[in-house]
Each structure stands twice: as structure tokens, then as C-alpha cells.
Amino acid sequence: MSVFQAKIEGVPQFVSYFAPVHRAMLQLGEATPKQVYAHIAQHEGLSAEDMAQTNKNGGPTFENRAAWARFYMTKAGWMYAPKHGVWALTEQGKQAADLTEEQAVAMFKSVTTQHKGHEEEVKAPEDHVQPDSTQYWFVGAMWGDGEGDQMPRFLQEGIWQNGYEDKFAEQVNKMKAGDRIAIKASFARKHGTPFNNKGQTVSAMKIKAIGTVTRNHGDGQTVDVAWEPLTEPREWYFYTYRSTITRARVEDEVLARRLVAFTFDGGQQDYAFFMAQPYWRARFIETDGVAPDGDSIDDKADALDEVEQVPPVAVYGVADIVAEGCFVSEAELHSMLKRWTEKKNLILQGPPGTGKTWLANRLAKALIGQKNVTDEQLRVVQFHPALSYEDFVRGYRPGGDGRLTLTDGLFLQVVQAAIAQPDVEHVLIIEEINRGNPAHVLGEMLTLLECSKRSRAEAMELAYSKSRGEKVYVPENLYVIGTMNVADRSLALVDLALRRRFAFVNLAPSLNTAWQQWCSDKGMDTTAITHIQTRMAALNQEIAADRALGAQFQIGHSYVTPHEPVADAQAWFAEVVLSEIGPLLHEYWFDTPERADEAIALLLKQA
């Protein structure tokens, strides 16, 4: 019986073509559809009468069934198109033995498509069929250190290479055969845009070449690619990638899906759609042509119009934090960053003066990898008793016309910026997170902040929606770090739900060797340093032993850490005791002022 008459029970007839197509591809390697059809006709017993049969659309029935077999096998990851109009087996397809009927049925059932059940009447898609597991990568080809544009070499050698030995290896190793890849060049354009940008600078990308990954070398550096050079680069605006390698999160973001359709399917960009998104609306619609306040990523790009922007190498890290006066070890700082990266949310808690705010700001810069970060990447807010959900997330506020307008608060602004710039880390610092009521202020965000819910699949409707069915999610590239004073009696206890979603790090007074060296570098003599260290250690021990206070009321090292050179250490310390530490001790022991006076006297006692 020829393949034309073969029929597997319970599935459409074209499923019987899976095995013949697979056998043909094993024999032919890469081949055009016509070559595959001819091979099947010759080796699978088709007659001239079989070949002449047509479907309802007037096309050859045999060829359409074989094309549908290819479509499903591609969706299942067995086949791919190394270039336009060519079929080939993936490594999975090459390594598989001859397909059984059971395997063919399982493959058919595993694929989800809008065409299922109508294949005999519909022409099979010819190009750009992607496996359900296909990933889409946008990569750079411009290398630093004077090496320049590597794209001509990549196209000639049929490869793409990571230009860094110590970065992006993990992402490169995630590429697999069948994934789609595009070489892009990121820049900023202010003039000659195909839409009215009202004088604002717009982030842009040029898509210079597209292709399909055929093999990963597994070294974090190189993948083989079947390239399809474009006749002319195509320009894409707004939602852009600046990193050397970025995977488009098509499973989460409609903006990414539109970019993929533009890049790999030849679609057109709907500029009006992007300008209507919250992040860009304020810049390109709700503006009178005057550049908005703030130091956005695009604000500094006027001189870069049409000049490719090479991603900056990380220039700020843990060693820089220590060099700036952090008395926590590098190992501990690395541990904090690792925990924060995994959990997405971190709280630094400790007694007053332990450098929580100072460290939060620098950890944020270390996470981003840059000392000078834009205002959009790093936002800071302080919680207080009067702060509400309507202020922080979304609520009604008076508009310019005197009417109440539903307005996004700081948190949703940060979310929108992170979604619009998906390959850039964004950080929100929340000062004194327990000075307000976190559960009241955060609302639904408390759930969406959880690291396991950072996807569109977990999106929720808000208490105040701008449109019917609107849902919001928190993207993976948004990191939150809070500070918490554990000594203030007026502050609220932290909600257990908040504790579950944040990692907590305790900061204690650190009058250690690093602190000693810092003081010495500021001109303080060894005797004075030892005196301050001994007196403060004794005071903190007394505070920790007091049942009415405890360790959370100890006095942090920030009180006794000089920021400028010190000429007279004893006089400087005495001034700190009288103006800062003394008043705090009187607050601690407000009912026994003589105890505070004794402690102050001990601090002021000469060495």
C-alpha cells in the first residue's frame, strides 16, 4: 500500500506522512520541498493517479499532506528551515530511529495549532514555521577594544560568537538547534523617524541579519548559524535590546511577540500601538514637545543618532563597595547579591547607624553593574504612615482640568519602565519599608512581587483598572531592596506575607579591622581608634543586655565613622557623642536619665 492510501486509526491521513518525510530527510539532508516530494513519490509507492489528486483548494493533495507533516514535525522540534525554502532535520530528528505509528500519533497530539482539524482543506504554511519550544535571540556583533563589527565574519563563517570570555556564557549555552537568531545594532534616533516623535530621542534597533541556530558548541562562546542576510537593515523603534545577547520573552510580553513577528516574519511595526503604551505615552503623546524631566536612558543620546551603541562593560561591583567604606566582607556582599538575584526582593535590617541606606544604594549599583545609573533604572521612595496604595500603586488624583484622573503611582511607573527595557536591570529602593503599612501600601503587588510569579501568566487585575480585563504583572528584571529599622518602637510589625516574599539580611555594628583601617586613612591615630572601638563595644554590650532594649538598639558604626580627614580625633569623637549619641541614649533610657549620663561620661572619658 502506498503512503497515499495509508491511514493511521484516529488521526488525519497526513499523519501517515510523518515517517516517509522523516525517511526522505535522513536520505537527502537539506532539501527543497520539491526534492522531498519527488523522493517520497519514488520510494513510497505513489502512482501517477495518486500524484494527480487535488484537494478542495485545487492544490496537490499529496504535496499538501507532506507539507503538513513537515509543519507538525517542525513544531515538535524534529525539523527546521536552515534558510528560506529549505527543509532539514534537527539533531533530534537526525538521531531518531524510523518513526512508528505510535510516535507519529503522539507527535500529532503534542502540537497545538489553530489549524488542527482543518488541514485537508487548508494549505500548509510554507515558511517560518517554528517549534513550540523555539527561542528567539537578539545578539550584537560589535566588539570592543578596537575589534569592530564582526558581522561580515559571522556571515562568512556561518557562526555567531560571544565577544566576552567572562560574560554571557550562561545565555549562550541556552541556545539550541532550531532557535532563531538576529544580529541587531542598537542606537538612538532623534531625526528622520517614520512617526512624529515630537523632538524626543527614540531608542532604535537595526535588524541586520536573521538566521537559525544549527549547533551549539557548548563553550559559552560559539554557535553555528544558517544566516539569511537582509538586503537592507530594518529599523525597529521603542522596545529595544542593548545587551550583547537577549532572549525575547515571547511567552510573557506582547511587545516581544511583535518584535519577533517584525524580525522573523517580515511584519510591520505599529508605531501608534507602541506610543500608546504607558511608558512611551508620556513621552510621545502626552507631551508638548518639551523633553520630560529626568535622566532617562534616551535623554543623553542626541549625539549618538545613527551611531551603534556598544553595551558598557560592568564597571561597578563588590570591590568598589568595599573601597568606598563598606565594612562588610566581599564574601558577605557577594552572598547578599546572590540571594537578592534569586529572590528578587531583599530587605536590609538592623539597628540605627549600620549603613542600611548607604549599602542598599551601592548594592543596587553593583547589581546593575554601573556606578552612574539613570534615574529610570534606580528609583528611591520612603514609606511613611500617610503613604497609601493610591499614592504608590494607582489611584484617583486631581488632573489639570480639575477632574479626578486614574493615575499610576511610582511602583507602576517602575514596572512599565522595566517592561519597556527588558534587558536592563531596574531597581526600586524602599526606605524604611516598615514605617508605613506594607500590606496596605502594596496591595496586590505583594503577591506579584514574589519571585515565582514574575511572569504575565501570573498577572492580576488591580483594584483600580484603566480598562476592562486589564492585568498587571511584575517583570523579572525589576529588583526591590528595602531598609528596615528594627529599633523604632513606633514602627509596625512586618506582615508575614511580606517576610515570605523578601530575603532578609541583618546588619550589625561593624567596628572591625576594615573600620580601623578606614579611620586610620582619615588621619586618626591608633590610640584614638582603639579608645572609640573599646568604648562603643562596651556601650553596645550594655544596650544588648538591657531587657527593655536588646541587640536591635545597639548603636551602629556610622555614628563613629568619619567622612572627612580628622585633625583631632578626641575632639571629633566628643562632638559626635554630645550631639548624636548622647541624645539617642537619653531617648533609650528616658525614664532613667542618670544611666544615660553615666554612659555618656564613660564615652567621653579620656583614654
Which regions of 447-492 does DSSP assign to beta strands (E)? Answer: 478-485
Residue partners of 108: CB distance under 8 A and separation at least 6: 11, 12, 15, 18, 72
- Predicted pLDDT at 292: 45
Instruction: Please state at what angle helix 61-75 crosses helix 101-110, rounded to 10 degrees.
Output: 70
E strands, 134-178, where? Answer: 136-139, 142-143, 148-149, 159-161
In this model, does residue 494 exceed pLDDT 80? Answer: no
Instruction: Check residue 228 and give its pLDDT.
Output: 87
C-alpha to C-alpha distance for 200 and 281, rounded to whole angstroms: 12
CB 21 within 8 A of CB 96: no
Of 541, 540, 533, nearest to 569 (Cα)? 533
Distance (Å, whole) CA 271 – CA 288: 19
Three-class secondary structure of residue 535 per DSSP: helix
Residues above pLDDT 90, as percent of the chain: 59
pLDDT attached to residue 488: 65
Strand partners for 286: none
Give the amino acid at 204: A
The least confident of 115-119, 354-358, 403-407 is 115-119
Dihedral sign (CA 382, 383, 386, 390): positive
Which helix (H) or strand (E) is 225 found in, with range? strand 222-237
Mean pLDDT, to the nearest integer, of 45-72?
86
Separation of alpha carbons 352 and 554, rounded Å: 7
- Cα angle 324, 328, 334 (rounded to 5 degrees) comes to 95
Residue 491 per-residue DSSP state: S
pTM of the model: 0.75
What are the Cα distances from residue 599, in Å, to 28, 528, 533, 550, 554? 89, 18, 15, 16, 13
With bands split at pLDDT 50, 70 and 90, how would you rate the model's confidence at 299?
A: very low
Going by C-alpha positions, the residue among 169, 561, 168 that lies closest to residue 353 is 561
For the residues 246-257, what does the mean pLDDT come to?
88
- Mean of pLDDT values over 87-112: 86
> CA-CA distance, 21 to 40, in Å (whole number)?
7
One-character DSSP codes across 547-605 = TTS-GGGPPPGGGG--SS--S-HHHHHHHHIIIIIHHHHHHHTTT-HHHHHHHHHHHHS
Cα–Cα distance measured from residue 492 to residue 63, given in angstroms and rounded to the nearest whole number: 71
Task: Taking residues 381-401, report their average pLDDT.
Answer: 91
**Structural domains of the chain sorted by starting position, each given as residue range(s) with its CATH number in brackets:** 13-110 (1.10.10), 136-304 (no CATH), 318-506 (3.40.50.300), 513-604 (no CATH)
Q: Mean pLDDT over residues 132-140, rounded?
A: 87
Average pLDDT value for residue range 310-331:
85
- The per-residue pLDDT of the chain, averaged, comes to 88
Count the alpha carbons within 13 Å of 16 in the hemisphere toward its beta carbon.
14
Using CA atoms, how far apart are residues 32 and 84, in angstroms rounded to an integer?
A: 9
* pLDDT tens digits, one per residue of 437-476: 888 899 999 999 999 999 888 899 999 998 888 899 999 9
